[in-house]
Amino acid sequence: MTIIEKIIANHSKFDKVKPGDIVDIEIDARAARDFGGPNVVKHIENNNLTIDDVNKTLFTFDTNPTGSDQKYAQNQQFIRMFARKHGIKVYDIDNGIGTHTLMSEGYSYPGSTALTTDSHANILGAIGAFGQGMGDKDIAAAFNSGKVWFKVPKSVKINLNGKRPEGVTAKDIVLNLLHEFGANSLLSYSVEIYGEEVDKFTLDERITISSMGTEMGTIIVLFTPNKEVMDFCEAATGRELQPVIADEDAAYEKVFEIDLSKFVPMVSLPGKPHDTVNIIEAKKVKIDSAFVGSCTNGRMEDMIAVAKVLEGRKVAPGVVLKIVPSTNEIWNRCLDEGLMKIFKDAGALVSNAGCAGCAAGQVGQNGPGEITISTGNRNFPGKQGKGKVYLSSPATAEASAVAGYITTFDDIPDEPAEFTVQYDEEKEKRVSDDAKQHEPKLTSVEGRVWFIKEDNIDTDMIFHNRYLTITDINEMGQYTFDNLEGYEDFAKKARPGDIVVTGKNFGSGSSRQQAVDCFKSLGVQAILAESFGAIYERNAINAAFPIMTYNDIENLKLEDGDKIVVNFETGAITNLKNSKTIQGEKFSEVQLEIYQNGGLF
Does the structure show a pLDDT above 80 at 360?
no
For 108-146, write each residue's pLDDT tens digit: 999 999 999 888 999 999 999 999 999 999 999 999 999
Homologous superfamily of 266-403 in CATH?
Aconitase, domain 3 (3.30.499.10)
* pLDDT grade for 48, boundaries at 50, 70 and 90: very high
Least confident of 252-256, 299-303, 430-434: 430-434
Give the separation between CA 515 and CA 479, rounded to whole angstroms.
Answer: 10
Neighbours of 242 (CB within 10 A): 10
Mean pLDDT throughout 394-419?
93
Element (DSSP H or E) covering residue 563: strand 563-567
Mean pLDDT throughout 489-501?
97
For 52-70, write each residue's pLDDT tens digit: 999 999 999 988 877 677 7
Does the structure show a pLDDT above 90 at 284?
yes
* pLDDT grade for 40, boundaries at 50, 70 and 90: very high
Give, rounded to a whole angstrom, the gap between the first and last alpha carbons of the chain.
74
Separation in Å, CA 504 to CA 44, 173, 538, 572? 46, 65, 16, 19
Q: Which residues contact 412 (CB under 8 A, 6 or more apart)?
A: 309, 313, 399, 402, 403
* pLDDT grade for 71, boundaries at 50, 70 and 90: confident
Write the DSSP symbol of residue 473.
H
Mean pLDDT throughout 446-470?
93
3-class DSSP state for residue 8? helix
For 552-592, write each residue's pLDDT tens digit: 999 999 999 999 999 999 999 999 999 999 999 999 999 99
Mean pLDDT throughout 293-301?
92
* pLDDT at site 361: 55
Q: Where do the CATH 3.30.499.10 domains begin and end in the chain?
A: 3-262, 266-403
Does the structure show a pLDDT above 80 at 359?
no
Strand 320-323 with 113-116, pairing: unpaired
What's CA 136's distance to the chain center, in Å? 19
Give the separation between CA 82 and CA 88, rounded to whole angstroms.
Answer: 8
Fold of the CATH domain 3-262: Aconitase; domain 3 (3.30.499)
Does the structure show a pLDDT above 90 at 333?
yes
Give the separation between CA 578 and CA 564, rounded to whole angstroms.
Answer: 10
Neighbours of 135 (CB within 10 A): 12
Q: Where do the CATH 3.20.19.10 domains begin and end in the chain?
A: 444-597
Percent of the chain topping pLDDT 90: 83
Give the separation between CA 212 and CA 82, rounded to whole angstroms.
Answer: 32
Matching CATH number, 444-597, of 3.20.19.10, 3.40.50.300, 3.20.20.150, 3.40.462.20? 3.20.19.10
Alpha helices (H) in 437-509, listed in sequence order: 459-462, 473-476, 490-493
Q: Are the C-beta atoms of 565 and 576 separated by less than 8 Å?
A: yes
Q: Which residues contact 137 (CB under 8 A, 6 or more apart)?
A: 43
Give the separation between CA 128 and CA 554, rounded to whole angstroms.
Answer: 76
Mean pLDDT throughout 255-276?
95
